[in-house]
Amino acid sequence: MQRREVGILQHAENEHGGLFEEYIRERGVEIRYIPIYETNEIPPVTTTHLLFMGGPMSVNDEEELPWLIAEKQIIREWVAKGRPVLGICLGAQLIASSLRAPVHPCEAELGWSPVTAAEREIFPELPKQFRVFQMHGETFEIPQGATRVYRGERVANQALCIGSALGLQFHIELTLEMIRNWISDRPTEEQSSILAQSSQYLPESQRICRIIADRFLSAPAENFAWMHPPEHGSG
């Protein structure tokens, strides 16, 4: 099996890899943490896979946060070579922005909402519709040449795919502890409602996370495309 190492680009201390880290370790794959929230810079990247996590900033804040420019350049270079990229929330917006698609404010989403498989289905093993956890106030347009993978009721573009890059606006990496942390500043009644829904929807969300993580971790280091099914025995 090819050597695999996942670089996790983390933009906020409490927006870490979550379940992805657990699934990566289960497969015996190495992890390299890139804590941008501490260093404010992107070191040379030598990993075989890249996982871009969420964060409170906007991808449009390049003047204040110039490392955003470096992240977008890395994404463009990796997509050109077919190297595996997965972006979550801000990570998905980075993929869109790196490919010249606008990212702009939208109706804020917080909590659980449904997403539905869109024009081209790349995960036939997943339900056509499922509930996901949302926490964002911006959305992306679909870049030229990319495909919308999932759509939402309130915010239309929930996932995009182009070549080796997949961006998910929603969060599938979450544990209950992470959700508690993220909503700790919300009114008590709202917290109770979200936590009750989390007990209902988290098991399916975590199953979906494992399926997507398996596809990501099985990807070869180059010439990969999310739209193409993995070759037998590639993992």
All residues at 6 or more sequence positions from 62 whose CB lies less than 8 Å from its CB, including other chains: 68, 69
pTM: 0.95
- Phi (first) and psi of residue 76, to 5 degrees: -60, -45
Superfamily assignment of 5-218 in CATH? Class I glutamine amidotransferase (GATase) domain (3.40.50.880)
pLDDT for position 116 = 96
Q: Is it the case that residue 228 has pLDDT exceeding 80?
A: no
Q: Could you count the other beta carbons within 10 Å of the beta carbon of residue 231?
A: 9
**Which tens digit of pLDDT belongs to each residue from 61-95?**
999 999 999 999 999 999 999 999 999 999 999 99
pLDDT for position 234 = 41
Distance of CA 177 to the CA centre of its chain: 19
- Phi (first) and psi of residue 211, to 5 degrees: -65, -45
**Which tens digit of pLDDT belongs to each residue from 129-183?**
999 999 999 999 999 999 999 999 999 999 999 999 999 999 999 999 999 999 9
- Percent of the chain exceeding pLDDT 70 equals 96
Which residue do the tokens 């996932």 mark?
Answer: 159
pLDDT for position 211 = 96
Strands 103-117 and 147-152: antiparallel
Strand-pairing partners, residue 114, are 131
